[in-house]
Structure 1
Amino acid sequence: MARRAAGGGTTTVRAARRPELRPPPLEPYDGAELERDGDYDGLEFRETDLTGQDGGGARFMDCAFSDCALDEASLTRARLLDSVLTGVRGVGTQLAEATLRDVELVDARLGGVQLHGAALERVLIRGGKIDYLNLRRARLKDVVFEGCVLVEPDFGGASLERVEFVDCALKGADFSAATLRDVDLRGAAPLEPARGVDRLSGAVISPAQLLDLAPLLAAELGLRVLAPE
């Protein structure tokens, strides 16, 4: 039986399961424009410009995206399965209600990615920088953010289970109405929640982070902190 911590939780946190990818030999993508509800299996998209293309509802299975442009690409309700995205870049990529399962996103440079309502399971996001990541009402299970910079990510109303932040900058995060379970924030530096500090129940933080968060927690509780006269 796990011991209880002072905050009412256990002294351990369940680790996220990472994707285990064994990609088959890949065929080069022929460069044709994406199709809605298309099927793409075992393909390599290398330095492909997908700017503004519409692949809504498409399925990408055992695919690799390397140094691709994703500006304003529409992949709403797309399914990315057992795939790796390396060095992708773009602004306004639309992935609302998409499914990402067993996916690695490596060294991405993205801004305004729309993943609201999406489902992420066994996803590793390593390196790179993502500005204004929209994960409102998304479901994250077994997701690892490692060595990346997240600027003003929005987790509002999202469900996070077994999510880890490892050597990751988390700036201006919004956790409003989010639900957290076994979320490990100890590797987030800095850890700067802008909103929703009251929703961090279910997360694990370090003693140093607790000191940093003390002013926000005091404000949330309506405490005034005054030096003795």
Structure 2
Amino acid sequence: MPDVTSGRKKGDFRRPERDVSGGVQHVPMARRAAGTAGGRGTATVRAARRPELRLPPLTPYEDDGGLEPDGDYDALDFRETDLTGQDGAGARFMDCALTGCALDEASLRAARLLDTRLTGVRGVGTNLAEATLRDVELLDARLGGTQLHGAVLERVLIRGGKIDYLNLRRARLKDVVFESCVLVEPDFGGARLERVEFVDCALKQADLGAATLVDVDLRGAAPLDLSRGVDRLSGAVISPTQLLDLAPVLAAELGVRVLGEE
């Protein structure tokens, strides 16, 4: 079956993929002050860089048999497309828009999503393990059990919607923003998070076990509910209120018993 492209054969290169240091307009990084323990001095957390998408005119996607492994999809508009159970492992999506698509049990393992916007997608068991998401917006998604373990996310905005049981074990997140969304039992075990922000975001029963956090801003997470990994919060910034909420968990981690006076 021929690849679905915008008129070019598979293997053609229309333009080089964007490097980490290119393809977007770089702006000075904002720095936010955060008090340190005991009020001694100040520390800063570097703000995440958000994707700046400018999609070109898109061609409607024609479903002539479904996705193809290692397929090449360029400047296509997937609108209300049912991708349930389809195999797009290793595929490349560049300058695409996916709107209202069903992704139940879709296999996108090791796929590359570049300069792409996903709006209102839904599905259970979507496999994006070891995928690359760069300059991607995921808006108002309703997902459950999404597999992103071992994936690389760079300049990604996840805004609105609800994601249950998100698996990000051993993933690498850099310049990622979770905004106005609900994350239920997300698993960041062994992941590396650098310049990651949670803005007006509910974080419920999050697993940070063995994770590495660098410039992670958790102050906008309400609630901030950790099931594991409170000892991994070095490199993150939290609010005074969150510190009080986490006090019982921190005490348990340190082996401190808190008893009232008899």
Q: Please classify the TM superposition score into its range, dividing by the shorter chain length.
A: over 0.9
Measure the CA separation in 1 of the matches of 2:229 and 2:62. Answer: 46
Unpaired runs of 5+ residues, structure 2, are 1-32
Asked if 1:217 is matched to 2:250, the reply is: yes
Can you list the C-alpha shifts for 1:84-131, whole angstroms capped at 9, x where unaligned? 000000000000000000000000000000000000000000000000
Q: Secondary structure of 1:211's partner?
A: helix
Alignment of 1:136-155 (within 5 A): 136-155=169-188
Match of 2:200 among 161, 167, 170: 167
The reply on whether 1:16 has 2:48 as its aligned counterpart is yes
Task: Quickly say closer, same or farther: Cα 1:208–1:78, change in 2 above 3 A.
Answer: same
Correspondence for 1:179: 212
Residues 34 and 237, structure 2, Cα contact 8 Å, conserved in 1: no
Q: CA deviation at 1:11?
A: 2.5
CA distance in 2, matches of 1:68, 1:38: 18
Output the aligned Cα RMSD: 1.4
Aligned position for 2:63: 31
Task: Kindly state the Cα deviation for residue 31 of structure 1 after the two structures are TM-superposed.
Answer: 1.2
Matches within 5 A, 1:44-123: 44-123=77-156
TM-score, normalisation: structure 2 = 0.85
Partner SS state of residue 252, structure 2: helix
Equivalent AA in structure 1 for residue 89 of structure 2 = G
In structure 1, the gaps of 5 or more residues are: none
Deviating beyond 2 angstroms after TM superposition, the runs of 4 or more aligned structure 1 residues are 2-11
Does the 8 Å contact 2:60/2:77 carry over to 1? yes
Partner residue, 1:134: 167
Q: Secondary structure at the match of 1:217?
A: helix
Q: CA deviation digits over 1:145-187, x for unaligned, max 9?
A: 0000000000000000000000000000000000000000000
Q: From the superposition, tell whether residues 9 and 52 of structure 1 become closer, same or farther in structure 2 (CA, over 3 Å).
A: farther
Q: Which residue is 1:6 aligned to?
A: 37
User: Alpha carbons of 1:3 and 1:167: their partners in 2 closer, same or farther (altered >3 Å)?
Assistant: closer
Aligned residue pair count? 228
Distance 2:34 2:100 in 1: 47
Structure of higher CA gyration radius: 2
Relative to the length of structure 1, the TM-score reads 0.97
Give the SS at the match of 1:11: strand
SS at match of 1:144: strand
- CA pair 19-153 structure 1, distance change in 2 beyond 3 A: same
3-state SS of the aligned residue for 1:21?
coil
Secondary structure at the residue paired with 2:43?
Answer: coil
CA offset at residue 228 of structure 1? 1.5
Distance 1:9 1:146, change over 3 A: farther
Q: Distance in 2 between matches of 1:48 and 1:13?
A: 40
What is the match of residue 201 of structure 1? Answer: 234
Residue type at the aligned position of 1:183 = V
Which whole-Å CA distance do the structure 1 matches of 2:153 and 2:41 have between them?
Answer: 25
